[in-house]
Amino acid sequence: MSTDAVLYDHPGPKAKIRNLVLTVVFGIALLGLAYWIYAKFDEKGQWAGTLWKPFTEVSTWTDYILPGLGYTLGAAAVAMVLSLTFGILFAVGRLSDHRWVRYPAGAVVEFFRAVPLLLLMFFIFFGVPFLTEQPMSVFWAVVLGLTLYNGSVLAEAFRAGVYAVSRGQSEAAYAIGMRKGQVMREVLIPQAARSMLPVIVSQMVVLVKDTALGYIISYPELLQMGVNNVSANFGNVVQAAIVVAIIFILVNSSLTALAGWLERRTRRVGKAPKTAVLVDAGSAT
């Protein structure tokens, strides 16, 4: 159901004129806003060619931006694999019939979902070395933080997915004599994972964005390399931030598009559970 068609009728002559007037009025307002931003930039000399020029040079890309992007995607990829493992383990834990498994697993998942990721990263990076008495690699501080948080989010998503598999599936599996572990492993998880694929991919958007937190503990990711280091050399922090933001938007939009495509695909096959609609916004850290 598309909202546009529902909220208002197909415009008649009067509505067309009104819409045209509104279009013009808001168009002018937006142009005004754009001009105001332009003028503000101009006032501070932010359109100067020297500030933008570094981005036309190959060395800026090969020295700063591409390595930064590599570190961002690398941390995101490792964290994704680990969070999937963590997510599946703890989802199964929370679904267990044994209280001594279910309650601790639930406590871990709830705890790590409620703690800000930055707090977690600070603890891992600054706190853990005091306990282990050896320095913590910044890469693993970022990855572990991301894993604990996103793994917990995914665990909840998987649990919802397993609940959404129709009861007949597990009943049939028990009826042909499968054991609990087999039902989970061979019947429930494959179907849940499939219907959860769009959620998993949208969680990757969250992961890619969250690697930027690594900047705060000086992990050389895209924000650190592309904005901080580039602007330290060329004094163009506004321009660098805009360029890096565009890169993030491109990467994340393609992931979102992939999630949308997967969702349409699963729906076509008719396997998408009706109750498993998760708003990825909630995990917007």
Q: Please report whether residue 279 would count as binding other proteins according to CB under 8 A.
A: yes
DSSP designation for 8: S
Q: 16, 9 in Cβ contact below 8 A?
A: no
Which runs of consecutive H residues, i.e. helices, occur in the chain?
3-7, 13-43, 49-52, 58-60, 66-94, 99-114, 117-122, 128-132, 138-164, 167-175, 180-182, 189-195, 197-210, 222, 230-234, 237-269
Could you say which of 73, 245, 258, 262 contacts other proteins (CB under 8 A)? 245
Q: 239, 175 in Cβ contact below 8 A?
A: no
The tokens of 285 are what?
């850290």
Could you say which of 38, 47, 103, 111 contacts other proteins (CB under 8 A)? 111
Nearer to other proteins by Cβ, of 130 and 168: the residue is: 130
Q: Please report whether residue 252 would count as binding other proteins according to CB under 8 A.
A: yes
Could you say which of 17, 26, 34, 47 contacts other proteins (CB under 8 A)? 26
Residues that bind other proteins (rule: CB under 8 A) add up to a total of 64
Nearer to other proteins by Cβ, of 190 and 282: the residue is: 282
Could you say which of 48, 172, 249, 257 contacts other proteins (CB under 8 A)? 249
Residues 210-229 that bind other proteins (CB under 8 A): 210-213, 215-216, 223, 227
Smallest distance from other proteins to CB 143, Å? 16
Q: 55, 122 in Cβ contact below 8 A?
A: no
Nearer to other proteins by Cβ, of 83 and 283: the residue is: 283
Q: Please report whether residue 13 would count as binding other proteins according to CB under 8 A.
A: no
For residues 271 and 281, what is the distance between their CA atoms, to the nearest angstrom? 23
Q: 161, 122 in Cβ contact below 8 A?
A: no
- Backbone φ and ψ of 220, nearest 5°: -75, 60
Residues 120-179 that bind other proteins (CB under 8 A): 120, 122-123, 126-128, 130-131
Residues 6 or more apart whose CB falls under 8 angstroms from that of 245 comprise none
Smallest distance from other proteins to CB 101, Å? 20
For residues 271 and 259, what is the distance between their CA atoms, to the nearest angstrom? 15
Binding track over 52-91 against other proteins, x by CB under 8 A: ----------------------------------------
| Cα dihedral 266→270→276→280 (10° resolution) | 30
Binding site for other proteins (CB under 8 A): 1, 3-4, 6-9, 11, 15, 19, 22-23, 26-27, 30, 40-41, 44, 46, 110-111, 113-120, 122-123, 126-128, 130-131, 205, 209-213, 215-216, 223, 227, 231, 237-238, 241, 244-245, 248-249, 251-253, 256, 279, 281-285
